[in-house]
Amino acid sequence: MSNFPRIFQTCKPRPDVEAGTTRDEQFAADLAQVVNGTAAKEYTDPAAFFAHTYPTRGLKQLLKAVCQCICGVAGAVASIIRLHTQYGGGKTHGLIAVTHAVRGMQGVENVAEFVDPELLPKGKVRVAAIDGENSNPADGLTLEGDLRAYSLWGELAYRLARVEGYRRVQEADRKKEILTIINCRR
């Protein structure tokens, strides 16, 4: 037997955990639902989300890098960031934190624990999330009405600029030529 206290001697579970009212699906974070505003309050409300989030070094570095890039800070990292974690390592949680950060972290009292408040974007930032599990390149993904995307790029165009955005790439998306268009514009 060690001299160290057991976890239940030093930590007290939240009331909802003790009462048994917490459901497993509450912990299944879904980035697309957060972006679209359809996720549970624990994920869609920035104050609630950050109240249950510990500011790890990795999370703080991610938020700083993304906010610097969006704000055009000189010397910011590349606009593509690869998250290196295993399954269950916090990628989705980090991306939800980024979503709230670029939207201004409304209602979060301890912003500075996560990112320099001066780095938060001052204007509106459009955020798009694509759920690869729901994509269907063969039959297309219904966006709205009879509008369907056949590639991730078609869906991304729609998520960023709705119907007008999709119409810009629609022909190439339907022909599945979108990668050719993107590669030619480099």
Give per-residue pLDDT as tens, 14-65.
787 788 877 666 667 888 899 989 998 999 999 999 999 999 999 999 999 9
Q: Distance (Å, rounded) from C-alpha 123 to C-alpha 104? A: 9
User: Is the pLDDT assigned to residue 10 strictly greater than 80?
Assistant: yes
The total number of structural domains that make up the chain? 2
Residues 6+ positions from 109 with CB-CB distance below 8 Å: 47
Show which of 70, 91, 119 is a domain's final residue: 119
pLDDT score for 180: 47
Q: Is residue 90 a part of any domain in this protein?
A: yes
Its domain, for residue 77, covers 24-119
**0.85 exceeded by the pTM?**
no
Q: Is residue 15 a part of any domain in this protein?
A: no
pLDDT tens for 102-113 read 999 999 999 999
pLDDT score for 138: 81
As a whole number, the mean pLDDT across the chain is 85
> In this structure, which amino acid lies at residue 12?
K
Same domain (yes/no): 37, 101: yes
Alpha carbon distances (Å) from 152 to 12, 32, 99, 118, 159: 44, 14, 19, 33, 10
Q: What percent of the chain shows pLDDT beyond 90? A: 42
Average pLDDT over residues 125-134: 82
Same domain (yes/no): 78, 152: no
